Amino acid sequence: MDENESIFNSGVLTDELPGAIRPPQDLWEGKKSGLVVVECPQRIPCNPCATSCPTGAICAFSDINDTPRIDYKKCTGCAICVAVCPGLACFVVDLTFNEDYALYKIPYEMLPLPSKGDTVTCLGRTGEALASGIVETVVEPKHDRTYVIHVSAPKKLANDIRAIKVGG
């Protein structure tokens, strides 16, 4: 089974595919405020990430069905794309938060809504619990219903944490 068949059968992204990319390690580790990670490997008619990016870091699509391309030198880690992505495929990871913890800026559309200081469970792509994290900030949506939750959690899980669970 090839990678494209795997995602169609399971719905879970297991490896990097075009449109599902991590920032270059040298940029990611030194970029204050973080860099966007986009896991959007399917060609679908969607481009809010590109049209909302204030710096042009998410490159304009030549076709509405394109997968995102990122110019990481332009990314500020603002997380606007996180809030506007209808597929919850964008998030930001700031590896400069502190020595052991990264700051994850994660889309969140569930209830209950966490509050600053809450402990949450950080989840991997298949929903498995990976670590505990602390909510640092809750950013209310401006146009949609997607909150952006800033969570500090172990830096070593930067390639794995993709969501959070609030409560038991």
- What are the 10-residue block averages of pLDDT along the chain, 168 residues in total? 48 56 77 88 89 95 91 94 93 94 96 96 94 97 89 95 91
**How far, in Å, CA of 115 to CA of 133, rounded?**
12
As to burial, measured by CB atoms within 10 angstroms (0-12 exposed, 13-18 middle, 19+ buried), residue 56 is: exposed
pTM: 0.87
